[in-house]
Structure 1
Amino acid sequence: MTRWVALLPAGESAVYDAAVDIAGVSASSAGPDLPGSFGGTGITWDVTADRSPVGIAAGLGVPQPLDTVALAPVRSRAVPLPGARVKRTLLLAVRPGTPDGLVARLEADLLAIPDHVSTIRSWALSRVDQALTPSRWTHVWEQEYRDVEGLTGEYLSHPYHWTCVDRWFDGEVPGAGIVEPRLAHVFRWSEDAVLVPR
């Protein structure tokens, strides 16, 4: 089983939740991107399945093509959070030719964010499995929050975020701006946990 993230056209998201009843699908959760999201296509779908969600979506009548990535986990933490939560997904691409050492430093800085930002509950950092889904994206950084303010408030405005993480996304910072400017920063409500223990 592989966990996947797919960016889907805007429309009705309940059909993707029902995909859990399809053979070979062990988890499926989708929802419309909330205001403030950018770079997505309307709906974000998290699915764990034994095959690409492209074929699953085609069977559900979803227009193609989809922006779909297979996740190769780097590290994660699941924190209990009863009830609905906001699930945030950041898809990013490290510039081609970036030395492995710089990529490792970016990953380490992302992994340190939950030590500084108290509103983050569960989180996961993954590389994109290019063998399963060749993609322009290289990494997926996910978190869950109790509410939107946990993301748009403390997370995005935290000094650690501004000083240690944002530099990797700024092409004008010598030796650090290694992330391509095109991003997908999408967040949505989920009734249940998406980032569960593996």
Structure 2
Amino acid sequence: MRLETAQLRLHAGMPVASHAPEQALLERVAKLPGLQRAAVSRNLPGSWGAGDYTLDLQFHPAPSGAPAGASGLAAALDGIATVDHVAYRAISGGTRAPQLRDGIWRTLMFRVRPEAPDQQVRALEQDLLRMPAYMPGIRNWRLARVVSPGPWTHVWQQEFASADDLLGEYLMHPFHWGRVDRWFDPEFPQCTVEAISHAFCPLATSLIANPNRKEETAP
């Protein structure tokens, strides 16, 4: 499968006919070739470096291996103020709440410094993947490397039962501050990441554990 995500920023007062913006956005991407699943939700206050909405797409792989949705997505979303879009390939992840409903979907896109040694990047990835072992509030998770051109190199996604699990346990946990933060903080000599986009939004059902649902919006 091919996975893509985008941060969408709408023009002020963007017309969406009689539909809610989420439904209008889904209708605009519904005919993308090979689309298997689409989900969109409005980002919550506290997101930063992100857009107004998080859009997630899952495609059957294109026979040529070329990006399945890139050109079609640009056409489908013509008129939206900005589209920060990546295609990515999962390198690891896990589930412990496959039936999660009405939760929180967090998407962190980040860029590692181009001069960062491969060994350092792998160490960063391993520390991110160790987080769920220390934080039971992370119900499902996926770490991926970006495979499309653009400013981002990785996508780190988590699903939570509530925003409190993200804003409390996850962001404030000692493992986060004592182990993971060093890769992101320019005051640390191990700093590897030079830019991030942090978005979180309502989640209807798990995007990680239930990949075959066609499309959805979250309240």
- Name the TM-score, length of structure 2 as normaliser: 0.81
* Secondary structure at the counterpart of residue 166 of structure 1: helix
Moved over 3 A (4+): 16-23
d(CA) in 2 for partners of 1:160 and 1:136? 28
Aligned partners of 2:108 and 2:199 also within 8 Å: yes
Aligned match of 2:129: 111
Aligned partners of 1:168 and 1:178 also within 8 Å: yes
1:170 and 2:158 equivalent?
Answer: no
1:158-190 per-residue CA deviation (whole Å, 9 max, x = no partner) reads 00000000000111212x11110x310000002
Identical columns (%): 36
Gap change, CA 1:22 and 1:177, over 3 Å in 2:
closer
CA apart distance, 1:83: 2.0
d(CA) in 2 for partners of 1:78 and 1:15? 30
CA apart distance, 1:15: 2.6
CA apart distance, 1:66: 1.8
CA apart distance, 1:197: 6.2
Tell me which amino acid in the other structure corresponds to 2:159: E
- Extract unaligned runs of 5+ from structure 2: 15-20, 61-67, 212-219
Aligned match of 1:88: 106
d(CA) in 1 for partners of 2:44 and 2:33? 30
How big is the alpha-carbon RMSD for the aligned residues of Structure 1 and Structure 2? 1.9
Aligned residues: 193
* Secondary structure at the counterpart of residue 112 of structure 2: coil
Structure with the higher strand share, 1 or 2: 2
1:13 aligned to which of 12, 22, 41: 22
d(CA) in 2 for partners of 1:93 and 1:82? 29
Aligned match of 1:140: 155
* Secondary structure at the counterpart of residue 47 of structure 2: coil
CA apart distance, 1:62: 4.5
* Secondary structure at the counterpart of residue 84 of structure 1: strand
d(CA) in 2 for partners of 1:197 and 1:54? 26
* Secondary structure at the counterpart of residue 66 of structure 1: strand
Tell me which amino acid in the other structure corresponds to 1:157: M
Tell me which amino acid in the other structure corresponds to 1:179: V
